[in-house]
Chain A
Amino acid sequence: MLLQLNKIFKWVNSGGQRVFLLKDFNLEVEEGEFISIMGPSGSGKSTLLNIIGMLDNFDEGEYNFMDESVHTLKEKHRANLYKQYIGFVFQAYHLIDELTVYENLEMPLLYKKISSSERKALVADMLDRFNIVGKQKLFPMQLSGGQQQLVGVARALIGSPKLILADEPTGNLNSKQGEEIMEIFKQLNKEGVTIIQVTHSEKNAAYGSRIINLLDGRMV
């Protein structure tokens, strides 16, 4: 078992009323799964992904990640946990504009305090694997959207995470670029990486081994 959500509630207070983003939500994810989360806007997809990624808190319930109970951890421990095991891929890529491709890839390794020689080797591997060696000195703004997302995936992958969380990774890409990214995910999943993606596209969802449909904060 990689992670387990138990009776998760998440709400916001709006105009004196409690609006539930997630309501009594339960989920178990085994290692090696490829899960697609679908549902209309506002159904709680992103909220769920953020909670799994430990970027967001929940109000009630239990969350166990690799036998650690996340809800009892302090922020620092939580950051250590996701730094170690989770990689994020965003719809808007979210690369740091002031850093080159190479430096963007290197950044997670810096936070993991990996030695300089090892960093070089790892970044070189990644550049090689994604065929972007020639672009390593460019800044994100000098790349196409597809290329930026490639770097985004490479960055998520460089710390060898167990789990990749992707929030509409192809949302800003054309279909060809999107397909490329999905193929990479498929390949990664074969290599044993667990993937959870949020998507609007039936086609992309089909890459996954399991589809979760959300409506108003509940699984349907």
Chain B
Amino acid sequence: MFKNYLKIAWRNLAKNKGYSAINIGGLALGIAVTIIIGLWVQSELSYDNHFENKDKIAIVFQSQTFNGNTGTGPAIPRPLEKALRDDYSSNFKYLIMSSWTNKVYLKYKETSLYKSGNYMQRDAPELLNLEIIKGEKDGLREINSIMLSESIANALFGTEDPIGKVVKVRNQDDLVVSSVYKDIPFNTTFNDTYYIIPWEQYLASREWVRNSEDEWGNNSFQMFVQVADNVDMDKVSTTIKDVKKTLNEDTAAFNPQLFLFPMKDWYLRNSFKNGENDGGGRIKYVWLFAIIGAFVLLLACINFMNLSTARSEKRAKEVGIRKSIGSQKGQLIYQFLSESFLVVVLAFLVSLLIILISLNGFNDLAKKEILFPWSNVNFWLISLAFILFTTLLAGSYPALYLSSFKPIDVLKGTFKTGKHAGLPRKILVVVQFTVSVAFIIGTVIVMQQINYAKNRPVGYDKEGLVQIPTYSQDFEGKYDLMRSEFLNSGAVIEMSASSSPTTQIWSNRSGYTWDGKPVGFQEDLAYTEVTYEYAKSINLKIIEGRDFAREFATDSNAILINQTAVKYLGLTNPVGKFLRDDSEENPNPPLKIIGVVQDMITSSPYEPVKQGVYVFDKHGNSSYYNLRLNPKQSASKNLVTIEKVFKEHFPDIPFQYDFVDAEYGEKFASEERIGTLSGVFTGLAILISCLGLFGLTSFVAEQRTKEIGVRKVLGATIFNVWNMLSKDFLKLVIISCFIAIPIAYYVMNGWLEAYPYRVTLKWWIFVLAILGALLVTILTVSFQAIKAAKANPVKSLRTE
């Protein structure tokens, strides 16, 4: 019987090729979108699943409060390690101090690489489930060892056996390769840990780290833990809450709260408000896209329902015959569901093809490495369930509708669907266009917000500005030389150095005093050390006062502050006033404010600029050279020259550079991805809806052929007929717009609220969306309407 059903279904599909193409194509698009989104969601949810003990692993977080503003993050001080090991060790299976993930130079013979990795304590290979390819798992035992990822080992050593070979790190430390581990998978937090060096080496090679042993205020490190097997992570978290506060009086004023931030939340729920995890983060995008996927599938299923029921008059006769021969309603429902099943299976096959073609593009867009799970049994089982679900979703209504025809009505040949038979169809069209219009509005607003933030003045000139990282000992004491060399080369017209890149804040400071400082005020200032000509090299405007200048010897104790800092510190006429850095054991000279610079965006472009100070770099602590390229030459020519000069002085160091405007652009990457993806999905949603509308119009036109013929004989123009056919659909779309607009307004308003610097919603966006939807509808409907209107009436009347 089933075979018979499939046969008749197949012949029906083959007979109405246009209809089948629209139906299968639309559904395939919908399914493809849903599967791709499904794979994406799965990949997001399985982030860090690589680590066997995901549920037991955490990073220690600290929140501190400055003047009522609570900041939360993974930065902790070194003495915490001893405190936890001494008094709380039974709670932890592993406790691992770690540096930040930083790029360093790795060199073997002639090959030199600039790659990121960590300094970590000895249990790291266990915690990270490192899969050792060569060498030993306990690869951090010796202080002068280094563990390399497979890709780095291959790049450095090629076919040679890396074990026991010496790698020069930072052009300074000779470390012996103890083991090679398989690259940590892309879909994990540690995907950029290409090397691991013993923590002891970190201490040995850096004085400031060694000196921080008892510095509770120096929050410059990370600590990863795996809790003991029999303990509850939440309990441990509560236990260690006040450790720092109790042990250190100096920082107690900031109310330092420690807690364990579990690995399962690192990626998706990493948003904190007032020291509490508010459950936000990427998870909201996971939800957003899951909802989009569900809606796109719904749209495709609605097409299927609409087209199937619209064609019902053609199938009515068959229903009548089958019923008169003895088919029961249940059997007919089963038959029509089998037909839907066939269509869904075909659509599924087509969608696999679409996915195959588009997955790479999607990966690029979404910055993912999703592979199609061909060999995953679960995927196919889920797909089967999905096919059945879609069959039911798309097929139930047509099946119930078609199987309810009375045989005597349809066999008499007088069967016409009643006046209200089209109502559910109309409702479905309204649902489709409501979703589409809401998507359009949402996408436009996301794009607007991105553009709005992009066009926000950054405060300096990021075009033609190049930065070179210089955090290696080789650069020490070479700044003046390099500056003159670069300037002489003609490729650079101005240059400075700074302790952090212009696009980021790397340090924050507190503990200054100044005249008029309110009692108990705990300031929090962005802190950057800069050289002469910093403002000039990046074109940062001096609003008041002056820049650091070589002719004033006292400028080594001078400071620039930004506009926000003026207000923040409560200063009037700030120039000439002093900030004092007055710890008793270390009586620094006061810092004289010599100028106020324009606010520049250093962190999020969606947030207000943070109050910041620029201190003269006395110790050569620079991490970046900032080079203003010669605008009279092409950037590529300038770079060739710069590289040549660079190589003359640092032959062993790979030449690394970033364009500041590109680095700044990275700040928009996440929002832009969301924008592009939602743009793509909106386009597809509209395409699917239009496919359905197109199919529907062609049926309506066909149904009304006789009417159109009569009207034309009686004098209707092509425009009259077009108007008659289009009007009904346009009405539906307008209704959709009025439902979609308040929904979109509400949702997007909520989305925008997360951004302090945001675009205001303007009425014309909504008008634009309505016009867009109408235009698309008119174009879609007109093709069929005009075709029907132009048909020769004599012909259509003769067929009756």
Contacts and interface: CB of A to CB of B under 8 A. Distances in A.
Contact of B11 (A75, A95, A98, A106): A98
Contacts of A68: none
A112 B413 CA distance: 27
A103 B413 contact: no
Interface string A45-82: 01000100101100000000000000000011001101
- From B4, B7, B11, B326, name the one whose CB has the most chain A CB atoms within 10 angstroms: B326
Nearest to A47: B408
A83 B325 CA distance: 6
A98 B8 contact: yes
Interface string A111-144: 1100000000000000000000000000000000
Given A55-B408, A79-B328, A111-B327, A96 B321 contact: yes
B367 to A, nearest CB: 49
A108 interface: yes
B331 interface: yes
Nearest to A139: B11
B793 interface: no
A97 B211 CA distance: 90
B633 interface: no
Contact of A94 (B8, B12, B320, B331): B320
A80 B411 CA distance: 20
A90 B7 CA distance: 24
Nearest to A112: B326
A55 B407 contact: yes
B318 interface: yes
A83 B320 contact: no
B754 interface: no
A12 interface: no
Given A94-B321, A98-B8, A82 B408 contact: no
B667 interface: no
B325 A111 contact: yes
A92 B317 CA distance: 11
Contacts of B331: 111
Contacts of B325: 83, 88, 107-108, 111, 155
B172 to A, nearest CB: 81
B322 A107 contact: yes
B619 interface: no
A56 B408 contact: yes
Contacts of B406: 55
Interface residues of A, number: 30
A96 B318 contact: yes
A53 B407 CA distance: 11
B588 interface: no
Contacts, number: 64
A98 B4 CA distance: 11
A92 B314 CA distance: 15
A103 B326 contact: no
A140 B378 CA distance: 46
Nearest to B321: A94
A79 B403 CA distance: 14
Contact of A76 (B321, B322, B328): B328
A110 interface: yes
Contacts of A107: 4, 322, 325
Interface of B is mostly: helix
Given A108-B326, A111-B326, A103 B411 contact: no
A82 B411 contact: no
B251 interface: no
A145 to B, nearest CB: 15
A99 interface: yes
Contacts of B327: 79, 111
A139 to B, nearest CB: 9
B139 to A, nearest CB: 69
A95 B322 CA distance: 10
A53 B321 contact: no
B4 A90 contact: no
Contacts of A76: 328
A56 B321 CA distance: 14
Given A50-B408, A55-B408, A107-B4, A98 B326 contact: no
A92 B410 CA distance: 12
Contacts of A95: 321
B1 interface: yes
Nearest to B9: A98
Interface in B281-324: 317-318, 320-324
B408 A96 contact: no
A214 B318 CA distance: 30
A76 B7 CA distance: 26
B326 A83 contact: yes
A82 B1 CA distance: 20
B321 A98 contact: no
A30 B406 CA distance: 29
B727 to A, nearest CB: 31
Contacts of A50: 408
A90 B15 CA distance: 25
Contacts of B412: 46
Nearest to B327: A111
Nearest to A83: B326
A98 B318 CA distance: 9
B328 to A, nearest CB: 5
A90 B326 contact: no
Contacts of B318: 96-98
B767 to A, nearest CB: 48
A88 B320 CA distance: 12
Nearest to A108: B325
B11 A55 contact: no
B324 A96 contact: no
A47 B322 CA distance: 19
Interface in B312-352: 317-318, 320-329, 331
B182 to A, nearest CB: 57
B415 to A, nearest CB: 12
Contacts of B324: 53, 55, 88, 94
A92 B326 contact: no
A94 B1 CA distance: 20
A20 to B, nearest CB: 17
Contacts of B4: 103, 106-107, 110
Nearest to B413: A92
Interface string B672-690: 0000000000000000000
Contacts of A83: 325-326
B580 to A, nearest CB: 93
A115 to B, nearest CB: 12
Interface of A: 46, 50, 53, 55-56, 75-76, 79-80, 82-84, 88, 90, 92, 94-99, 103, 106-108, 110-112, 155, 159
- Give the 4 A-B CB pairs with smallest separation, nearest first: A83-B326, A98-B11, A111-B326, A108-B325
Given A79-B323, A107-B322, A108-B326, 11 more contacts: A55-B406, A75-B329, A76-B328, A88-B324, A92-B411, A95-B321, A99-B11, A110-B4, A111-B327, A111-B331, A112-B326
30 contacts: A50-B408, A55-B407, A55-B408, A55-B411, A56-B408, A75-B328, A75-B329, A83-B326, A84-B326, A90-B411, A92-B413, A94-B317, A94-B320, A95-B321, A96-B8, A96-B318, A97-B318, A98-B8, A98-B11, A98-B15, A98-B318, A99-B8, A103-B4, A103-B7, A106-B4, A108-B325, A111-B327, A111-B331, A112-B326, A159-B326
